């Protein structure tokens, strides 16, 4: 397959026709991380209802970000998501916070972009809330881990196996 499906034979961008594909159950799992100064990580981990829950805010932003995917990514199909979940885990050795997003739908096309969008918006929100302390944080390894459903079936990232 040499062609990019988002272009027609003249090279014009298009929202790919999925009208002949059946609506089936689909899920996607994406991940990413934000690296930061160890003191910033310590401050986030101390947080909570009384000291400021950075990850709680980022989780909400990520969930809402998943719902805005078709507004942001030009050729994405609008989809009615049936599930969005976001999890965070600190990685002390790497001085980072890992984020995973799982998104599901029943639709003729998949939700990879929605899961990736959720991760990106969640990580950007962490950056925003901590940037006054630590401007040099960086977002890394934003990638798809796994997807189910659709014509291409189950896919799992090779280096995750």
71-130 residues near a copy of itself, rule: CB under 8 A: 71-87, 104-108, 112-113, 116-117, 120-121, 124-125, 127-130
To a copy of itself, the closest distance from the beta carbon of 103 in angstroms equals: 9
What are the structure tokens assigned to 68, written together? 């805005």
- Going from the C-alpha of 23 to that of each of 111, 140, 149, the distances in angstroms are 12, 33, 10
Nearer to a copy of itself, 63 or 97 (CB): 63
To a copy of itself, the closest distance from the beta carbon of 80 in angstroms equals: 5
Q: Tell me how far apart the alpha carbons of residues 62 and 122 are, in angstroms, rounded to a whole number.
A: 4
Q: Tell me how far apart the alpha carbons of residues 111 and 26 are, in angstroms, rounded to a whole number.
A: 7
To a copy of itself, the closest distance from the beta carbon of 55 in angstroms equals: 8
- Residue in 8, 71, 91, 128 annotated catalytic: 128
Q: Tell me how far apart the alpha carbons of residues 147 and 4 are, in angstroms, rounded to a whole number.
A: 20
Residues annotated as binding site?
A: 75-77, 113-114
Q: Tell me how far apart the alpha carbons of residues 34 and 62 are, in angstroms, rounded to a whole number.
A: 14
The footprint of a copy of itself on residues 24-63 (CB under 8 A) is 25, 32, 43, 47-54, 56-57, 59-61, 63
For the question of residue 50 being annotated catalytic, the response is: no
């Amino acid at each position: 397959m040499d062609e990019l499906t988002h272009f027609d034979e003249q090279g014009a961008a298009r929202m790919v026709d999925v009208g002949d594909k059946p609506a089936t159950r689909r899920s996607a799992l994406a991940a990413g991380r934000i690296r930061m100064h160890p003191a910033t990580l310590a401050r986030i981990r101390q947080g909570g209802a009384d000291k400021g829950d950075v990850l709680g805010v980022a989780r909400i932003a990520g969930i809402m970000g998943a719902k805005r995917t078709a507004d942001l990514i030009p050729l994405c199909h609008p989809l009615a998501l049936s599930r969005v979940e976001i999890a965070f885990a600190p990685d002390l050795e790497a001085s980072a916070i890992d984020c995973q997003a799982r998104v599901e739908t029943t639709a003729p096309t998949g939700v990879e972009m929605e899961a990736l969008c959720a991760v990106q918006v969640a990580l950007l929100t962490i950056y925003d809330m901590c940037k006054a302390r630590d401007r040099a944080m960086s977002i890394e390894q934003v990638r798809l881990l796994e997807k189910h459903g659709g014509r291409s079936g189950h896919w799992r990232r090779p280096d995750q196996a």
